[in-house]
Amino acid sequence: MADASPPPAALPWLGRCRCGDLRFRIVVPPIVTAVCHCIGCQRMSSSAFSLTIMVPTDGVEIGQGELVQGGMRADDLRHQFCDHCKTWVLTRVEAFGLTNVRATLLDDARWFVPYLETFASTRLPWASTPAVERCDEFPAPDSYPAMMAAYVTWARARGWPAGEPSSALSPSEP
């Protein structure tokens, strides 16, 4: 789908919370970009859906400020917020060593386009996005390698950095 999104600047990408106490850098290409329409994301974002830049956890550097846990306060899915302004900054998916950064916290998020749309089953009826792949809930785990490969092709065609840290989620990748 054609859109007016410009390509991103070179890595690293800088971001911050609403108050600016919390600052971070994304230093590696995304594994995938996504939008999630699940009820949990609707509640935590106080909006229609959440926006995700998924990266390996060591690809996000916290430069300043304090992250505190919020949301569901689960051990396997750790929702992290700015301690001062309570902005939802990122979610750590501990089992996979992945971190989902909220895209519109970047200093420049104009390039962001979701590749994957999850929990389309609970989307608000008007909330359409240009995502290429759509799932009623989360994608089946055995579909991840093919999806990540398709994402890399798509992202490179947009002029995005993509694909270098391919070991992140790919113990089962051929």
Q: Does residue 41 touch Zn ion according to CB under 5 A? A: yes
Q: Does residue 103 touch Zn ion according to CB under 5 A? A: no
Q: Which is nearer to Zn ion, 41 or 55 (CB)?
A: 41
Closest distance of CB 154 from Zn ion, Å: 21
Question: 21 and 38 in contact (C-beta within 8 Å)?
Answer: no
Q: Which is nearer to Zn ion, 8 or 44 (CB)?
A: 44
Stretch that binds Zn ion, among 7-15, 21-29, 100-108, 166-174 (CB under 5 A): 21-29
* The binder of Zn ion chosen from 9, 19, 72, 74 (CB under 5 A): 19
Distance CA 114, CA 50 (A): 10
Q: Does residue 35 touch Zn ion according to CB under 5 A? A: no
Q: Which is nearer to Zn ion, 122 or 166 (CB)?
A: 122
Q: How far is CA 101 from CA 18, 78, 127, 129, in A?
A: 14, 12, 21, 18
Name 51's bridge partners: 35
Stretch that binds Zn ion, among 24-32, 75-83, 88-96, 150-158 (CB under 5 A): 75-83
Q: Does residue 17 touch Zn ion according to CB under 5 A? A: yes
Q: Which is nearer to Zn ion, 50 or 160 (CB)?
A: 50
The token pair that represents 131 in the structure block: 């995502």
Phi, psi of 60 (to 5 degrees): -115, 120
Nearest to 98 by CA among 142, 55, 161, 68: 55
Q: Does residue 82 touch Zn ion according to CB under 5 A? A: yes
Residues 6 or more apart in contact with residue 13 via CB below 8 angstroms:
25, 26, 106, 107, 108
Question: 97 and 168 in contact (C-beta within 8 Å)?
Answer: yes
Q: Does residue 133 touch Zn ion according to CB under 5 A? A: no
Interaction site with Zn ion (CB under 5 A): 17, 19, 21-22, 36, 38, 41, 82, 84-85
